[in-house]
Amino acid sequence: MRPRIRLLTPEIIGRILGEAFELLMSPGVRVGSAPVIELLQSAGVEVNDGVARIPEPLVQNCLASAPRDFYLYNRQGEKAVHYGGDHVHFDPGSCCVQMLDPDTLEARPSETRDLVRLIQVTETLPQFAAQSTAVVCNDAPSAIGDLYRLFVVLQNSDKPVVTGSFSAAGLPSMIDLLAADSGSRDNLRRKPRAVFDVCPSPPLNWSEFGSHNLLDLARAGVPAEIVSMPLAGGTAPVTLAGSVTQHAAEVLAGITLHQLAGPGSPIVWGGAPAIFDMRTGGAPMGAVETAMLNMACAEVGKHLGLPTHGYLVATDSKFVDAQAGAESARSAMLGALTGINMISGAGMLDSLACHSVEKLVIDAESIASAYRLVRGIEVRGETVATAMFAQTGLSGEFLKLKETRALFRQEQHLPSSVIDRSARGSQPPSDAFTRARARVDELLSIYQKPSLPEEVLRTFQTIVEREADRAGIATAFR
Amino acid sequence: MRQSIIDGTSDTAAELAQQALANGIDPLEAVNQGFAAGITFAGDQFGCGQMFLPDLLASAEAMKTAINILEPEMLKRGSQRETLGKIVLGTARGDIHDIGKNLVATILSASGFQIFDLGTSVSPEQFVAKAKEVDADIVGISALLTTTMAGQKAVIEALDRSGLRPRVKAIIGGAAVTQKWAAEIGADGYSRNAIDALELAKNLMSTMANKETAPA
């Protein structure tokens, strides 16, 4: 039996969706871009002063055309991420601007070398089914920062990528880059390598940039992941149920725009909801209520039969310390027990402001434990215990049994050297951060850079140079 | 009066302000001896974690209500509230996220600064014009997105060109803003949250005061 957690009853989900549909009519949804307004109007939606009132029957039609599941593929063209059902995957958190320096323990602006380290470590860890464009590279020109991050990931990884653009103009060149990687736009559509996060602005606002991205992705057939981020009490109702309702309305509006532009194009019911901290005005990503919001939002998406995403395994601590471990491990378990298809956030500190490779390898252990937990307790063999006792009697010699040798690897997750279970001995014990630093070095030493055909690399280069030219930073990557 | 601000009850604060006017109490006295004591207390309580943002917002709202009622009489008598300083606030062009900026406005205003809030997606020219108009001490530019942070630089450049700086200080804030960015664009300071923004503004004002009193 696979263990599951549910926070909402079907009756409460019904009420949440009912009120979400009401919100789509009143107060309606702000939409920022002229093409989006035209698209909505051509579907019979009333738009006044940039506010659309989207009727439920139209939303239901769009929900019906959204795929129930889809895959992301690795560079070899193999299925690597299954969006849909209760499949659970993790990827590192994305879009950080700072990096924790393991020597000084200070947060400093993140650079290309940090992104490369994060990619290399992620590549070696089976806990991460996908890469993410994890940090902003402050050493690269910000005008093409989104394209550049994807360029760095594609050069250093074979895994699928969770990414996103920084502007409406940034997306097409990123799709070009992925198409070059896949061989053609058609190949990319058939076997997508990446999913793009697209964010509405709370409350109930699809800005020009976000809604434009949705349209472009739908038309290109490249998967989109709607990351709605209500802050309960700040930019959304203070009640968790109220924020889940706002989240549902924002995502339903997004799915409607997306499916109107490209019916059947893959779309994910995602989010990064959080509570609003009433002392600091921040978004505490490690709070249990933040985890509860992510769980409940995903439950609503599952109820509609859609692929899901959430933002967990992150912490508000500034260091890789006990708070970081507690908050991240807790939410990894809760996300897995909910069956969220893609859980982003591992490696992140300081309420998503700072990344850490050391935290990433510790989080990988929490994720492995979460995977073990959701595998549940299985019955192996004819009897649960008596057959083994028939061999040992009262001798207690279970270690000698062939069953023990055959089954212990399935029964027990064997943690890496990050986790200390040793007896106190001659060596002085170390703390998790010290062990994580050693583990990072170990993983970097086994990492192998993928070999890309020269021709593909040249095309990558051409696209990046073309965009650099366009942004007036012609010599940046020559 | 003090209690109505601490409790954040705008109705009571309004009644008391009207009573003060009816009884001929000097409106400036009513603010300084009554209502302002409440907001100072609320600010302190917030600072030490005994009151929370919704409480503080309610207190600030009650304060605003009381002052709006007393202000016409203050003007008539030619008396003016002493403020810690004048601050022009807004979010950079293209950015519509204003929750952080609004919190900063509330906390600074509750703490005694006079706030001129230009709202969201404000152009550099608007920042400069307002700073000139009100003779601002500080201009605060907020930007949430990495894409709109360039707008902070544009405002600072416009303030430089207008000749307002270095007399007028420029401070920035926003989730992605870092010390490095603040230094790069020549800001006089940055803060990660509204509480730090208050400290920053107070420090800048005292630096300015020291300069003014310093012998030439």
pLDDT > 60? residue A477: no
CB pair distance less than 8 Å for B96 and A201: yes
| Average pLDDT score, chain A | 95
Indicate which of B46, B53, B199 best probes the interface with A, i.e. most A CBs within 10 Å of its own CB.
B53
Confidence of residue A259 (pLDDT cuts 50, 70, 90): very high
Nearest C-alpha in B relative to A144? B147
Full pLDDT tens readout for chain B, 216 residues: 999 999 999 999 999 999 999 999 999 999 989 998 898 888 888 878 899 989 988 998 899 899 899 989 988 888 777 788 999 999 988 776 777 888 888 888 877 888 999 988 899 999 999 999 999 999 999 987 766 788 899 999 999 999 999 899 999 988 778 888 899 899 999 987 777 888 899 999 988 887 655 554
Strand partners, B173: B142, B191
Give the sheet arrangement for strand B138-142, strand by strand.
B114-117, B86-91, B138-142, B169-173, B189-191
Cβ atoms of residues B19 and B12 within 8 Å: no
Per-residue model confidence (pLDDT) at position A432: 97
List of chain A residues whose C-beta atoms are within 8 Å of the C-beta of residue B176: 97, 136, 353
Per-residue model confidence (pLDDT) at position A437: 98
Query: How far is Cα A419 from Cα A413, in angstroms, rounded to an integer?
Result: 12
Q: Answer whether B84 touches A (CB < 8 Å).
A: no
For A137-171, the pLDDT digits (tens) are 989 988 899 999 999 999 999 999 999 998 888 89
pLDDT > 90? residue A471: no
Q: Answer whether A234 touches B (CB < 8 Å).
A: yes
* Chain position carrying tokens 């509750």: B110
List of chain A residues whose C-beta atoms are within 8 Å of the C-beta of residue B54: 233, 278
The minimal CB distance from A281 to the residues B145, B176, B193 is found for: B193
Per-residue model confidence (pLDDT) at position A10: 97
CATH fold for domain B2-76: 1.10.1240
Cβ atoms of residues A196 and A163 within 8 Å: yes
CB pair distance less than 8 Å for A136 and B146: yes
Q: Answer whether B194 touches A (CB < 8 Å).
A: yes
Query: How far is Cα A428 from Cα A434, in angstroms, rounded to an integer?
Result: 12
CB pair distance less than 8 Å for A207 and B194: no
List of chain A residues whose C-beta atoms are within 8 Å of the C-beta of residue B96: 201, 205, 207
More confident residue, A289 or A235: A289
Average pLDDT, stretch A449-474? 92
Give the domain ranges of chain A.
64-375
Per-residue model confidence (pLDDT) at position B211: 67
Of all helices (H) and strands (E), which one includes residue A440?
Answer: helix A432-446
List of chain A residues whose C-beta atoms are within 8 Å of the C-beta of residue B101: none
pLDDT > 60? residue A476: no
CB pair distance less than 8 Å for B146 and A166: yes
Give the domain ranges of chain B.
2-76, 86-213
The minimal CB distance from A279 to the residues B52, B146, B147 is found for: B52
Of all helices (H) and strands (E), which one includes residue A310?
Answer: strand A309-311
The alpha-carbon gap from A93 to the nearest alpha carbon of chain B, in Å, equals: 15
Nearest C-alpha in A relative to B180? A109
Chain A and chain B share a number of CB contacts under 8 A equal to 44
CA distance to A131, A133, A152, A229, per residue, from A157 (Å): 8, 11, 9, 29
Q: Answer whether B96 touches A (CB < 8 Å).
A: yes
User: Which segments of B34-149 does DSSP mark as H helices, in order?
Assistant: 36-47, 53-76, 99-110, 124-134
Confidence of residue A478 (pLDDT cuts 50, 70, 90): very low
List of chain A residues whose C-beta atoms are within 8 Å of the C-beta of residue B147: 142, 166-167
For A73-119, the pLDDT digits (tens) are 999 999 999 999 999 999 999 988 899 999 999 999 899 999 999 99
What value does the CA radius of gyration of chain B take, rounded to a whole number of Å?
Answer: 18
Per-residue model confidence (pLDDT) at position A233: 94
% chain A with pLDDT above 70: 99
Per-residue model confidence (pLDDT) at position B216: 44
CATH code: domain A64-375 is: 3.20.20.480
Q: Which residues of A383-400 are buried (b: 16+ CB within 10 A; e: fewer)?
A: eeeeeeeeeeeeeeeeee
Q: Answer whether B183 touches A (CB < 8 Å).
A: no
The minimal CB distance from B147 to the residues A108, A109, A166 is found for: A166
Interface of B with A in 26-55 (CB under 8 A): 49, 52-54
CA B165 to chain centre: 19
List of chain A residues whose C-beta atoms are within 8 Å of the C-beta of residue B49: 279
Cβ atoms of residues A312 and A331 within 8 Å: yes
Query: How far is Cα B135 from Cα A439, in angstroms, rounded to an integer?
Result: 57
The alpha-carbon gap from A169 to the nearest alpha carbon of chain B, in Å, equals: 12
Q: Answer whether B97 touches A (CB < 8 Å).
A: yes
Cβ atoms of residues B168 and B153 within 8 Å: no
CB pair distance less than 8 Å for A167 and B147: yes
Interface pTM, i.e. ipTM: 0.82
Average pLDDT, stretch A344-351? 96
Nearest C-alpha in A relative to B176? A97
CA B141 to chain centre: 12
The alpha-carbon gap from B38 to the nearest alpha carbon of chain A, in Å, equals: 19
Q: Which of A9-23, A396-410, B180-194 shows the lowest per-residue confidence on average (mean pLDDT)? A: B180-194
Per-residue model confidence (pLDDT) at position A449: 96
pLDDT > 90? residue A280: no
Peptide bond into A273 cis (omega under 30): no
* Chain position carrying tokens 């997105």: B145
CB pair distance less than 8 Å for B99 and A98: no
> In A330-373, which ranges are E strands?
342-346, 348-349, 354-355
The alpha-carbon gap from B161 to the nearest alpha carbon of chain A, in Å, equals: 24
Query: How far is Cα B83 from Cα B62, in angstroms, rounded to an integer?
Result: 18
Nearest C-alpha in A relative to B57? A278
Q: Answer whether B207 touches A (CB < 8 Å).
A: no
**CATH architecture for the domain at B86-213:** 3-Layer(aba) Sandwich (3.40)
List of chain A residues whose C-beta atoms are within 8 Å of the C-beta of residue B180: 108-109, 138
List of chain A residues whose C-beta atoms are within 8 Å of the C-beta of residue B178: 97-98, 109
CB pair distance less than 8 Å for B49 and A98: no
CB pair distance less than 8 Å for A97 and B178: yes
